[in-house]
Amino acid sequence: TSLSQCKPDMDLMFLSGVNHMFFHGTPYSPKEAKWPGWKFYASINMSPANSIWKDAPAFFEYITRCQSFLQMGKPDNDFLLYLPLYDIWQEQPDRFLLFTIHHMAKRAPKFIETVHTITKNGYDVDYISDAFVQSTRCRDGKLITEGGASYKALIIPAVKLMPERVLQHLLKLAEEGATLIFIENYPEDVPGYGQLEKRRKNFAGWRKQLPSISTFDSTLSTPYQKGTIITGKDYGAALAKSLVFPEEMKVLHGLQYIRRSNDKGYHYFISSLQSRGVDDWVTLSVSAEDVMLFNPLTGEKGKAQTRIQNGRIQVRLQLRSGESVILQTFNQPLNQVEKWNYIQEQPVSLCLDHNWRLHFIESIPAIEGEFSIDTPSSWTEIGHPDAAVTMATGVYTNEIQLPEISADDWILDLGDVRESARVRINGQEAGVVWAVPFRLKVGKWLKPGKNIIEIAVTNLPANRISDMDRRGENWRIFHDINMVGLNNNHNPYSNWQSLPSGLNGMVKLIPINCQ
């Protein structure tokens, strides 16, 4: 597993509400154990035995910056979503119900579809159980959970079974001013058989207080004492009736996000986990006086460009595919704050597609000497007998002539990197590139005329491991739990094809202007 594969998975965890990451399942391995040491099958081996460990600190810094924001403040998701547990139980073909991670799609397909429908409409939800529903209160029209988080409404999907005490509490919340959203139907019966007739009688009494069932024929918003009960069959129309403004970044631009509140405003973690990027004005669902942007990959920060459109604040976002950003809003104007640098690439770039040399500073099996490879290509193609199986750090070197071009900065675009790279320019460390889009600002190290660019690329251990299996070497020495594939099959890796290693395509220097 590469660091560039770790990042989008880590982003998905952050987007799901996880805000404290730690490594799990990496075994202790004695120093005297032959490489690769003791291996456990169910995790990424984050240890010095793995070649990605060399550049992993850059990944750790990214996690640290993200978590510094995501552990701040409180959750600020739009809606609570009732978890129809009794329906899920009732719909299963057996009664031995394990809600394991591998079987959720089978156990709760309707609920999962509901969540996806809500998020596609530009909202976010937290799930709530029967017990937590009963501990929830309403204050100033907002639903307040036991932990102090605030929500704008509670969604009850097409539920058939609901305890009568839960339905009673829902109506109490509406009386206090809460908004309830029922989709497709009202609950029809109570679960279980204990004191069945008594509970059914109480349930029927509470249900009679709900608006007429015919209200589901179209989306309606019905006043209920201090609160509101919304009914309908279409999630988009029903959620719109709640007057909660959706997040445009999700609906129009395909970005994923999670929002939290803090004592100065709100903050978002935003990720472009899609094939396209975004460079556009985006309307926020919250109000703000000013906005800051933070790049968790590099630590760059600055005051964002904002404007008011139709009474709402818009922020200019500029994200390439795979990139993430932290956006923080402020209730007060920001003064004397450095501006965020929006990038405008100049129409002409320098394609560094010839005159490359390659040597290895680390390699097992060892590869000595220097290779004139001309184009920046995978070292598995250099013709050395061990090139396709080595676990290594190879240094790609090029001497270039930088023309006199007026630019605020330069971006070094490494293209397809397998798997992470340390960049040196004219003998100075310029940074680590470990995730898409594999780009780095390098203007401060460049100079007109001759420049020497060195790119130290580290590959994965996969080629070395598969070669060990082909040679019949017994490296699986941790016998308690061994390396297995999908479905716990003990398959060797001898049939693996050699993975590309190093640089794998065009490298460019792009002059940019900062707006």
Q: Which residue, 242, 235, 207, 236, is CA-closest to 221?
A: 242
Main-chain phi, psi angles of 395, to 5 degrees: -105, 115
Hey, where are the domains in the chain?
79-241, 248-340, 350-514
Main-chain phi, psi angles of 388, to 5 degrees: -80, -5
| CA-to-CA dists, residue 145 to 131, 171, 183, 249, angstroms | 11, 16, 22, 27
**Cβ contact 326:69 at 8 Å:** yes
Cα–Cα distance for residue pair 401/448, rounded to 1 Å: 7
**Cβ contact 285:247 at 8 Å:** yes
The pLDDT, as a whole number, for residue 483 is 67
Amino acid at 507: V
The pLDDT, as a whole number, for residue 474 is 87
Main-chain phi, psi angles of 304, to 5 degrees: -80, 155
| CA-to-CA dists, residue 376 to 204, 355, 358, 396, 501, angstroms | 73, 9, 9, 8, 11
The pLDDT, as a whole number, for residue 91 is 87
Angle at 55 between CA 44 and CA 356, to 5 degrees: 120
**Cβ contact 502:459 at 8 Å:** yes
Helix (H, G, I), strand (E, B) or coil at 215: helix
Cα–Cα distance for residue pair 410/422, rounded to 1 Å: 17
**Cβ contact 305:282 at 8 Å:** no
Long-range pairs for 480-489 at CB < 8 Å and ≥24 separation? 481/40, 481/41, 481/42, 482/39, 482/41, 483/39, 483/41, 484/41
The pLDDT, as a whole number, for residue 102 is 79
**Cβ contact 389:364 at 8 Å:** no
Q: Which residue, 416, 448, 450, 411, is CA-closest to 431?
A: 411
CATH architecture of 248-340: Sandwich (2.60)
Q: Which residues of the chain have pLDDT under 70?
A: 41-43, 479-486
Q: In what order do the strands lie in the sheet with 420-425?
A: 370-374, 356-364, 391-402, 449-458, 420-425, 428-433
The pLDDT, as a whole number, for residue 480 is 58
| CA-to-CA dists, residue 94 to 91, 193, 356, 467, angstroms | 9, 18, 63, 46
Superfamily of domain 350-514 in the CATH hierarchy: Galactose-binding domain-like (2.60.120.260)
- Say which residues have a Cβ less than 8 Å from residue 383's Cβ, sequence separation at least 6: none
Longest CA span, the chain: 89
Main-chain phi, psi angles of 99, to 5 degrees: -90, 65
What's the predicted TM-score (pTM) here?
0.93
Residue 372 CB burial class (10 angstroms; 0-12, 13-18, ≥19): exposed
The angle, 0 to 180 degrees and rounded to 10, between the axes of the packed helices 56-70 and 3-15 is 10
**Cβ contact 157:111 at 8 Å:** yes
